[in-house]
Structure 1
Amino acid sequence: MCEGAEYLEKAATACHQDRWAACGQDVPLGEKVKLLFIAHRVPFPPNKGDKIRSFHELQYLRKKHNVHVAVPVDNDDDRSAVRELTSLGYAMTAQDISTTSRWVNLMKSACSSRPLSVGAFWSSELKAKIDTLAAREQFDAAIVFSSSMAAYAIDLKIPMRIIDFCDLDSAKFAQYAEYTSAPKSWIFAIESRRLRHYEKRLVSSFDHILLISPEEKRLFDVNGYEDKVKVMSNGVTLAAMPKKVSAPDIMTPNIVFTGVMDYLPNVDGVCWFVDHVWKMLRRARPDLSFYIVGKNPVDAVQELHSPSDGVFVTGFVPEVAPYLFSAGAFVAPIRIARGMQTKILEAMAHGVPVISSRGSARGIGATPAQELLVADTPEEFVSQILTLLTDRGTAGRLRENALNFIRQKFDWDRNLAVFDELLAMPHTMA
């Protein structure tokens, strides 16, 4: 059997028999508890979607409980983040996963029925550290961020286990398969099928399942475990939003997109927008500029940079606020739309009117024509963008409605209070 396969198999088969000595006993966890927080990436700095969510989860839990964080690391930025968190008093357990080790585990997963993403984050050394830590610390609960990390917690003798799927990776990879060509599409389709089976099996292994939106919950076939699954939305810290500043060297009016630019949904979205929307839009408004703002632009994105055509690829910037504040509109042409697009929430919080794909709008629960405008076809995007740039009344109404929407729906403390509810529940250890 492959290295680590015994733990991965436990995750897949959902074995509960030896979780705790006092099986069947109702045990309230109490007010302040000891938590083991296992994440697939270091939850700091909060500079991309999954890390923003895990960072805020960690901050919220740490205000009320004793939390120990366990993570794999594979680059200098991660190592630096672990050192910084440790210096700030965070209890951290980290383990390097080398590129060679990761590829070996990927190949082993490819030769089995396990998802590749599970193998990609597997480390027998990290598993050994977590086992030793759990035996020593006697944690009251384990909180696992991402299905790819479930195998680390599945056999721990801990009274309560919570997993945050965030969004459904199986659905995400199904969309990857739809919007890519062979052979990538074949790999993504296989990964989607494996993850779908894996996610369903994990439901019986964890006491509580968290998903980021009602749309993700609707897609999830929980097979009789409906009471276990709860929605816990993201948030936006409005008080931390910078005041409006001028953006040097930025032409106006302009359209903006922000995001990590080596992430497939972002790459696909901006490439589609430039290829199918931008020329049509520039014919109507030759003065427009499109700013693609975000780190790690892949070659396909860098090739879009063309100042003569009004397209600017910035790469990493210290702050996105100047670009958002200068924008006449924020576009989210996301065709591979899973979970909740934090970039849309942040644009709204900065007071920028948004034109989004319908899938992304559903993910945040926004009402079209109330909090944002929606578009899927090139013609729809052109029409909606021109409306925002020429109709100040519509733009102003969308800004106001969007800010109210953020205040009402996306307060971090209010949304993360789901943890309080779960951790306060008497738990039947079985």
Structure 2
Amino acid sequence: MPRLLFLAHRIPYPPDKGEKIRAWHMLDHLANAWEIELGCLVDDPRDLDHVPTLRGRCAQVEAHPVRGRWQAALRALARARPGRPLSLGWFHHPALAAWVRRGLAERRWDAALVYSSAMAPYVMGPGAHRTGFRRVLDMVDVDSAKWQAYAAGAAPPMRLIWAREARTLAAFERRAALDFDRTLFVSEAEARHFVSLAPDCAARVDWVENGVDLARFDPRQDWPNPYPPGAVPIVFTGTMGYRPNVEAVTWFAEAVLPRLGTRTPAPSFWIVGANPAAAVRALARLPGVHVTGSVPDVRPFLAHAAVAVAPLRIARGIQNKVLEAMAMARPVVATPEAFAGVRATPGRDLLVAEGAEAFAAAVAAVLDGAHPGLGAAARAAVAAGHDWRATLARLDAVLPVSGPGQAR
């Protein structure tokens, strides 16, 4: 079998949050045709327990633990240079870089798939350029646009820091796309957005959409009910230290939920996800708001929710939380930002609303039974448009195998 270097900024197992879900499904799919050597960083020591699982799918796993956010920030500052994004230093690991350099020098791999722009420098430069060695970069999203959005809503000094990151990262994203043979994004819209910013990269850009594991997120299973008797739960799922998620649940709890409080019984808002930030934990003081922290499985919370909400106002690409809730046949109410990239029809498969009043009205309509077929339509939509088996077919076209030991 041909040999593939797969680099990821986080260990791609377990597939329990956005970037890990996409990386795992790509790796698992490619392992059917490639002998994979995985290089990755591990920011949660508990994830090291899953290295044996990855070794069952990979010929080699080079997993390097990294310390917490403060240490990563110091690493980024130590490697800061004029015009260089701080995120590149954040994800630089000397031992992993040395392992990649040795593999490139030995010509051990026939191709490389590099997951996220922050990992691109590992496979750039003269040592990475040789005939027959195909390099594919999965940027997933235009990350520089996310930093730009952060800057727009921030006060000094963070506005200046994030604006600098947006500017320097945008320049680096363009350089990386020109350096790699192919650069992927999570949706056609995201790819087109990047091309609008870097038109000279157009011929090198493609996209592979996110999917959802329909067997894993199956509403027909008998899921235990995690909610108290008589509850009318509204649920949000996600990693709760991630700023867009923090801002989303804060806005919903403070601006939307009070508009639903006159109902009987009053609905409750359940924020389900690991590593809740202090601002999220503080929301539990509000009437009707529950913050669970990490849970063994989000699926029971989805299965028994009256409605799943995705009130994100900063979002890039395709939101896995939306796909998963729809796969569980739950009515979903999303902002336009959270809906972007989802192959579904608003009003038939989910509801899309903007602004606190409209969002509350959409949630209220679901609770009132105004959309009885919404959950079933949601499941049908993601089954038709976001089955991993179909979405990953585009990846085979980007990384084709022409014969044993040969990639092109």
1:53-92 correspondence to structure 2 within 5 Å: 53-86=22-55, 90-92=59-61
1:172 aligns with 2:141: no
1:378 aligns with 2:347: no
Q: Decide which moves more: 363-372 or 47-56.
A: 363-372
Residue of structure 1 equivalent to 2:372: 395
Residue of structure 2 equivalent to 1:408: 384
For the 8 Å contact 2:5–2:109, the answer to whether it is kept is yes
Residue of structure 1 equivalent to 2:346: 368
Q: How far off its partner does 1:292 sit?
A: 0.7
The secondary structure found in structure 1 opposite 2:345 is coil
Measure the CA separation in 2 of the matches of 1:299 and 1:255. Answer: 21
For the 8 Å contact 1:203–1:222, the answer to whether it is kept is no
Q: Decide which moves more: 136-145 or 253-262.
A: 136-145
TM-score for the superposition, normalised by structure 1: 0.86
For the 8 Å contact 2:343–2:382, the answer to whether it is kept is no
Residue of structure 2 equivalent to 1:267: 246
Residue of structure 2 equivalent to 1:119: 89
Measure the CA separation in 1 of the matches of 2:145 and 2:303. Answer: 34
AA aligned opposite 1:315: G
Residue of structure 1 equivalent to 2:331: 353
1:39 aligns with 2:8: yes
Measure the CA separation in 2 of the matches of 1:152 and 1:188. Answer: 24
AA aligned opposite 2:184: L
Q: How far off its partner does 1:76 sit?
A: 1.3
The secondary structure found in structure 1 opposite 2:381 is helix
Measure the CA separation in 2 of the matches of 1:254 and 1:234. Answer: 27
Measure the CA separation in 2 of the matches of 1:149 and 1:171. Answer: 18
The secondary structure found in structure 1 opposite 2:357 is helix
Structure 1 segments (4+ residues) deviating >4 Å:
87-90, 98-101
Residue of structure 2 equivalent to 1:138: 108
**Superposition RMSD in Å:** 2.1
Which of 296, 308, 311 aligns to 2:275? It is: 296
CA offsets, 1:165-199, max 9 Å, x none? Answer: 01111011111222333322221111111111111
Residue of structure 1 equivalent to 2:200: 224
Q: How far off its partner does 1:365 sit?
A: 4.0
Q: How far off its partner does 1:302 sit?
A: 0.7
Residue of structure 2 equivalent to 1:161: 135
Higher relative contact order, structure no. (Cα contacts within 8 Å, ≥ 6 residues apart)? 1
Residue of structure 2 equivalent to 1:321: 299
Consecutive unaligned residues of structure 1, counting only runs of 5 or more, are 1-31
1:204 aligns with 2:178: yes
Q: Indicate how the Cα distance of structure 1 residues 91 and 418 shifts in structure 2: closer, same or farther if over 3 A, else same.
A: same
Measure the CA separation in 1 of the matches of 2:264 and 2:156. Answer: 37
Which of 90, 93, 100 aligns to 2:62? It is: 93
For the 8 Å contact 1:244–1:325, the answer to whether it is kept is no
Measure the CA separation in 2 of the matches of 1:101 and 1:283. Answer: 47
Consecutive unaligned residues of structure 2, counting only runs of 5 or more, are none
TM-score for the superposition, normalised by structure 2: 0.90
For the 8 Å contact 1:109–1:115, the answer to whether it is kept is no
The secondary structure found in structure 2 opposite 1:290 is strand
Residue of structure 1 equivalent to 2:187: 213
For the 8 Å contact 2:37–2:58, the answer to whether it is kept is no
1:330 aligns with 2:308: yes
1:189 aligns with 2:159: no
Q: Decide which moves more: 407-416 or 143-152.
A: 407-416
Measure the CA separation in 1 of the matches of 2:297 and 2:47. Answer: 20
Q: Percent identity?
A: 37
For the 8 Å contact 1:252–1:327, the answer to whether it is kept is no
Query: How many equivalent residue pairs?
Result: 393
For the 8 Å contact 2:315–2:337, the answer to whether it is kept is yes
Q: How far off its partner does 1:314 sit?
A: 0.8
